[in-house]
Amino acid sequence: MALTHEQKKFFEENGYLKYDRRVLTEEELSSLRRRSEEVVTGRLTHVPPRFIQLEAKFRSGEEQTAEGLDRVRKITHLCYFDEVFERVARKSEVVDVIEDLLGPDIKLYADQLMMKPRFHGTVTDWHQDAPAWPFLIPQDHVSCWIALDDAKVENGCMIVIPGSHRWGPVATEFKKRFLSDPDLCQPVPVEIQAGYCMFHHALNFHRTGANPTPNRRRGLALHYMRSQTKYLGLENEEARLLTECEKPRGTFRFMLIRGREFTGRV
């Protein structure tokens, strides 16, 4: 077991866990930072453009003065296109913890490299991950969020609401009322050093602040699920192509990380 009884209990009760062991070496950090720069600047072109999203003001043309790396909000599905990022998703230092939380049969739903660029990184408001993925059931996924740069309050670290996952999915129209409920715990900022990580339940409410600082704050979110999870499919073709990594309809399978495949499941 990678987690102690106390750590598992903390995760079950709070819906998140700041992990106390380093999961990336300095060499791995340098490689991942360099890879992200190569993808953004176009020196490498194996990640299709649809998976690279700019900050809103650069998408709208409102702002054009920043360099490439400081314009990008996030890159998604890197593990499906790039072996450097895939190796991280398969690292035992991460997957052993996921197995403790989800069991031995594990798949990767997706990954997101949240760039939170220096000077331009904007707020990501309170949200749960799982309701954005209604085509995956049950909604008990677990994410590992790995800091590629030091993540602090001032440059937009993760902030969580302990125990919020236990209330289940909250519809958008009720979110404001839910977040003002006096029974909720106070938000907790989770500062993480580069090379370390945190884990959170897909129903835990979390947010990140802006990054007005001159320091980058890249974080790699790896979203894991049980191999027994059902995939209900997507009719919207744009959404399907994004979720299924541009594969022809009916051919895509989510990445097996550990354990068994199950017929008719993800």
Q: In the prediction, which pLDDT does 61 show?
A: 72
Closest of 116, 129, 109 to residue 72, by C-alpha = 116
Spell out the domain ranges in the chain: 5-258
Q: In the prediction, which pLDDT does 67 show?
A: 78
Rounded mean pLDDT of 125-137? Answer: 97
Q: Quick one: CATH architecture of 5-258?
A: Sandwich (2.60)
**CA 155/CA 107 separation, integer angstroms:** 31
Task: Write the pLDDT tens digit of every residue in 58-117.
Answer: 887 766 777 788 999 999 999 999 999 999 999 999 999 999 999 999 999 999 999 999
**CA 171/CA 187 separation, integer angstroms:** 20
Q: In the prediction, which pLDDT does 63 show?
A: 66
Task: Write the pLDDT tens digit of every residue in 180-216.
Answer: 999 999 999 999 999 999 999 999 999 999 999 999 9
Q: In the prediction, which pLDDT does 122 show?
A: 96
**CA 227/CA 141 separation, integer angstroms:** 11
Q: What is this structure's pTM?
A: 0.97
